[in-house]
Amino acid sequence: MNKEDKQVQLKNYNRRSVLNYIRKNKTATKAGLASATGLTFMAIKKILEELEELGLIRCDEMEKVSVGRRALTYAINESYRYTIGVHINKFVTSIALMDLRGNILASERCGKAQEFQSQSSFVDTIVEKIEKLIRETGIEREKLLGIGVGAPGPIDMENRVILTPPNMSLLNYLPLAEVLERRLGCQVHLYKDTNAIAFGEYWDGEGTDKSNLIYIDVDMGIGSGFIVDGRINVGANGIAGEFGHITIDMNGPLCNCGNRGCLEAMSSGIAVLRELSQQLNYDENHPLYEKKDNLAIEDVFDMAEKKDLLTLSILNRSAHYMGVAVSNLINILDPDIIIMGGIMIQNYPRYFSIVQSVANTRKVKGAKENVMRISSLNGNAGVIGAGEIVADNFFNQGINEVFLKHQGDGRE
Ligand SMILES: [Zn+2]
């Protein structure tokens, strides 16, 4: 590499650092950027001018920095490009068109994936909804950076295929990234749903001021996503985060995965349903006795609200196991924050408080207390995170082409 190439590389690295700092912090001042990047005030000033000229950032109104003093603030130009996020879960598929600051401009939903006639009718519907979003928002197609998809795992990251998600056989071996790329003519990034949710929390939810974050989904199944130093950690084979399948009791109940006593077999919605159904065999006077072989998770939440002792004891025990598992996670990873979501957390508030108190009691000394939060993105974290995956790819890789073109135009 000659000296000039090295200089260009360094320059682009500094520009990316500035852009990513602004992106993470939503707005930034010159002084804040200088202290965060270690660059001189003059260097920051020049980079900001270039980025503004390229249309990547905009200078906002003044921000009050101290009594009587105001400073210019810079933000990502949200309408420079757009992204689309798709989040597929058991209950709904959410699709959103977003700007570069993660704001949802328009969104669509389609029903349960499992209830579609075929894979092709499911894909057709997603394509139609995306086309509709592009049409209705009126964005120019060439400004669409790509599509991020968060889908139920396991995912073959290398071949970009959904493998065999539990209870969603319609999606088995669907090469969704490739199919959508062919149909829509733009780049598609396929990730496990919990990774997309974790990324949404990192950029726009409870983790915006953190670097190391864990998201735990306590739904009918249990999953998780890890963000390490701002990046999704997919592991060596793309399966990292299978937190639901750590063993809590080696002789415990059989899990979907074939092992015994997994966390999912003891703390998930399915585990609670199974346990309640079994216990009802011994309680003929229970209001749910007649329904014991056909229980829905809504029955559980309904009974919990009515303070039914049997239901509460099962729910609380399942939360207790989760607390033990979370204390193990804290001890191993020492994260900045753990965010919890999913139907169990949303519908039974005591679940979270039990997990928090058990985890606080059992974690090693020195680990931070109360690192846990409840997701505040109202179920939108997955779709936002899927879009942010596309934006992230642009700000770390695609952006180099923008810089290259800028140099090619002879403006340097
Ligand atoms: Zn398992």
**Cα 378 to ligand 1 centroid, rounded to whole Å:** 28
**Residue 65: its pLDDT value, please?**
58
Q: Which residues share a beta bridge with 109?
A: 94
**Cα 256 to ligand 1 centroid, rounded to whole Å:** 6
Cα distances (angstroms) measured from residue 300 to each of 290, 294, 295: 14, 12, 8
**Cα 67 to ligand 1 centroid, rounded to whole Å:** 57
**Residue 409: its pLDDT value, please?**
60
Residues in the chain, pLDDT under 70 = 1, 4, 61-69, 408-412
**Residue 81: its pLDDT value, please?**
97
CA 346 to chain centre: 17
Q: Which two tokens stand for residue 17?
A: 């650092």
**Cα 194 to ligand 1 centroid, rounded to whole Å:** 16
Is residue 202 within 8 A of residue 188, CB to CB? The reply is no
**Residue 278: its pLDDT value, please?**
95
Domain covering 3-77 assigned CATH 3.40.50.10320 in the classification: no
**Cα 304 to ligand 1 centroid, rounded to whole Å:** 26
Residue span(s) of the chain under CATH 3.30.420.40 come to 82-201+388-393, 206-374
206-374, CATH topology level: Nucleotidyltransferase; domain 5 (3.30.420)
Which superfamily does 82-201+388-393 belong to?
A: ATPase, nucleotide binding domain (3.30.420.40)
**Cα 235 to ligand 1 centroid, rounded to whole Å:** 18
**Cα 263 to ligand 1 centroid, rounded to whole Å:** 7
**Cα 221 to ligand 1 centroid, rounded to whole Å:** 10
Q: What does the pLDDT look like over 223-268, one tens digit per residue?
A: 999 999 999 999 888 788 889 999 999 999 999 889 999 999 999 9
Hunting for tokens 């974790």 — which residue is that? 198
Residue span(s) of the chain under CATH 1.10.10.10 come to 3-77
SS3 247: strand
**Cα 254 to ligand 1 centroid, rounded to whole Å:** 8
**Cα 73 to ligand 1 centroid, rounded to whole Å:** 49
